[in-house]
Amino acid sequence: MSHIVHDIIARGDARIVELPTAAPVRHQVEADRNFGLPTALYGVTVACYLGFLVIVGSAFANPALAIPMAVIVLLIVAFFAVPAMWTRLAGNTTKPQTLGEFEARGIMTNTGRLAPRDAAIQVLILPVLLVVWGLAVAVIAATVA
């Protein structure tokens, strides 16, 4: 590559041009750090995870479980707080959908548009099943004891 450049300079075909004026940097990909779902769905998810911990923690109340439960609560809060802060970084111009917008439009996925009901079911099925499982374990433990 440098051999070709030296040949152009030696022939006199090379030309020196002025540095262009500073133009605003235009990125090909816009920074969209929004996850597309309404904040309420994330709130319900966090509530289900913390509800599971409350159910299991009260069913198997033991002072030895205080530190592990506190660590798990901090991890759950961090798993949702860090992405929430990430969406508020500078350069992110998008906002999460409101519940009304979500009900009207749904959400776009890799396989096409997803209806709001179906999207909510997909997001909340694991947290709700976790709460149901915690209730079942608590009932079984109370019945056996």
Report d(CA 85, CA 33) in Å as an integer: 10
Looking at per-residue pLDDT, the higher value among 114 and 14 belongs to: 114
**59-76 confidence digits (pLDDT tens):** 999 999 999 999 999 999
What 3-state class would DSSP assign to 109? strand
pLDDT of residue 2: 54
H or E stretch including 92? none
Query: Cβ contacts of residue 36 below 8 Å, gap of 6+?
Result: 96, 97, 107, 108
In the block, which residue shows the tokens 């709460």? 131
pTM score above 0.95: no
**15-44 confidence digits (pLDDT tens):** 777 877 777 777 666 666 777 889 899 999
Residue type, 8: I
pLDDT of residue 27: 66
Closest CA to 124 of 34, 35, 46, 33: 46
Residue type, 97: Q
The full set of domain ranges for the chain reads 37-144
Query: Cβ contacts of residue 10 below 8 Å, gap of 6+?
Result: none
Report d(CA 74, CA 81) in Å as an integer: 10
